[in-house]
Structure 1
Amino acid sequence: MSNTDNNPTRPRDIAFVDIVRFVMRRWLEHPAFLTRTVLGIALATIADVAMPVLSGRLVTDISSHTGGAPHDAAQMALRNDALFMVGGLIALGLVGLLGRRSSYLGITYLSLAIMQRALSQGFARVQRFSTDWHANNFAGSTVRKLTRGMWAIDTLDDTLLLLIAPEVLVLTGTTLVLAWHSPFMGAVLALSVVLFTWLSVVLTLRYVAPSARAANRWDTKVGAAIADAVTCNAVVKAFGAEHREERRLDRVLRAWSGRTARTWIRGTNSANLQGFASLVMRMLLVALIVWQWWQGKAGPGDVAYVLTM
């Protein structure tokens, strides 16, 4: 039997944008689950954006209070405002917790519904392929592609809805709030976010994804080699070919190991570069707020806001 992974007529790799469109269309088929997920993410994001604001105001109140029992109405107002900020931080913490719980429960049902339907439709389509197609394709390879595609939907849902969407909302909200405090620092953060996003996209799609696709193809071959050898074990035994099958699997595993190692190393390199870029962005903002403090344009609350942001 021949493996179509080596067939030059194999369909080209589908663009990532097409995959996202496919998944988003499936989301819209389950509006209740999608709404629950998105609303939960929105609540948690609002809490994340507002917390640094309250933290900065709390620091301002504490730094302005003389300590001990309040001596006048102004000091009493500072103490009451500080207590109000503490209550607000507690409330925001609870809102964030409940929002994340709602989003996680929503995406659980959303992903399972999409995964179930996708695998069912994929299986039905494969069942209707011609007998010649099935005779010339590894059963193990086909099974591995179906199940890996199903679980890829779960990973993509988590990445888009639970990781990327909240980060976009947090960065957008934080940039607007920071621009309200300081237009110059808001502009610096906005530019930094654009550059960081560009770097992340380029590293993911141009550096990590190609090696990941190669590793996935060899992962499929591993599944095919094992499944078909086990399925045809009676034939293997009849020809005394156990050692030959083991050597064949060993060759496939060596190739799979090399390509998987390259993918994981590239993923680590990408994460390290993004982490360094994020560190530069944060330190730039810290340096700017300290410089404004030196100039007398920022107080302790502003510094605390930027640090907690």
Structure 2
Amino acid sequence: MARFQIDLRAGAFRSVLGFALSHWRRQPWRLSLIMGTFLLSTLADVLTPLYSGRLVDAVASSAAADDVAWNAAMAAFSMLVALALTGVVLRNLAFMAIVELTLKMMADIAADAFHRVQRFSTDWHANSFAGSTVRKITRGMWALDLLNDTILIALLPSLVML
């Protein structure tokens, strides 16, 4: 039985991530805002079970009419509400920032790509279908949008929590 080699195409990943990082470096404050808000939002999500457990403990205690248990339950419930609101606000702020980051990147990439295409020879333009060139550039911008979302929204908080 023949063994198959796994081709991870490290060079392709390296060049794509290098390209994305070069564009991220142009907007360091926005990238820091996105990373910070998603990490803080994830922290709020991680702390939610802790305060849920405290709420359950306070409600399940035998002295439910006791002021101490009531205060503990209300404190835990208040903290759960605060964590939920904080998580929602931070997540929405991060989404607004990532939209701005991606739009700026897409505008820069489109301008650069069309600038390069315009420098090609007249023969190239005569022999190439313009619609396919525009489509390739558009697909590249969509892929970059998906890459930004995957790395910054999905992978970064997961890696930090590991």
Distance in 1 between residues matched to 2:62 and 2:114, nearest whole Å: 69
Deviation of 1:133 after TM superposition, in Å, equals: 2.3
* Residues 44, 95 of structure 1: 8 Å contact kept: yes
* 2:41 matches 1:41: no
Find the counterpart in structure 1 of residue 154 from structure 2.
Answer: 163
Distance in 2 between residues matched to 1:15 and 1:155, nearest whole Å: 16
* 2:90 matches 1:99: yes
Which amino acid is 1:129 matched to?
F
Distance in 2 between residues matched to 1:65 and 1:117, nearest whole Å: 63
Deviation of 1:135 after TM superposition, in Å, equals: 2.8
Deviation of 1:62 after TM superposition, in Å, equals: 2.0
Q: Flag structure 1 segments of 5+ consecutive residues without an equivalent.
A: 1-11, 71-75, 173-309
Deviation of 1:58 after TM superposition, in Å, equals: 1.6
Deviation of 1:18 after TM superposition, in Å, equals: 2.0
Which residue among 60, 66, 82 is the counterpart of 2:63?
66
Find the counterpart in structure 2 of residue 21 from structure 1.
Answer: 18
The structure with the largest alpha-carbon Rg is 1
Find the counterpart in structure 1 of residue 135 from structure 2.
Answer: 144
Count of residue pairs the alignment pairs up: 154
Deviation of 1:42 after TM superposition, in Å, equals: 1.7
* Residues 166-200 of structure 1 deviation map (CA, whole Å, 9 limit, x = unaligned): 2333x42xxxxxxxxxxxxxxxxxxxxxxxxxxxx
* Residues 44, 100 of structure 1: 8 Å contact kept: yes
Scaled by the length of structure 2, the TM-score of the pair is 0.85
Larger relative contact order (Cα-Cα within 8 Å, sequence gap ≥ 6):
2
Distance in 2 between residues matched to 1:65 and 1:101, nearest whole Å: 40
* Residues 109, 141 of structure 2: 8 Å contact kept: yes
Distance in 2 between residues matched to 1:82 and 1:25, nearest whole Å: 49
Which amino acid is 1:53 matched to?
L
Distance in 1 between residues matched to 2:62 and 2:82, nearest whole Å: 24
Percent identity, aligned pairs only, is: 42
Distance in 1 between residues matched to 2:116 and 2:129, nearest whole Å: 16
* Residues 16-72 of structure 1 deviation map (CA, whole Å, 9 limit, x = unaligned): 2321221122111012221221121122111011001111122122222333x22xx
Q: Flag structure 2 segments of 5+ consecutive residues without an equivalent.
A: 1-8
Find the counterpart in structure 2 of residue 30 from structure 1.
Answer: 27
* Residues 55, 73 of structure 2: 8 Å contact kept: yes
* 2:81 matches 1:84: no
Matches within 5 A, 1:213-292: none
SS in 2 for 1:15: helix
Which residue among 75, 93, 116 is the counterpart of 1:125?
116
Find the counterpart in structure 2 of residue 112 from structure 1.
Answer: 103
Moved more, 158-167 or 103-112: 158-167
* Residues 197-246 of structure 1 deviation map (CA, whole Å, 9 limit, x = unaligned): xxxxxxxxxxxxxxxxxxxxxxxxxxxxxxxxxxxxxxxxxxxxxxxxxx
Distance in 2 between residues matched to 1:134 and 1:92, nearest whole Å: 57
CA RMSD of aligned residues (A): 2.0
Which amino acid is 2:121 matched to?
S
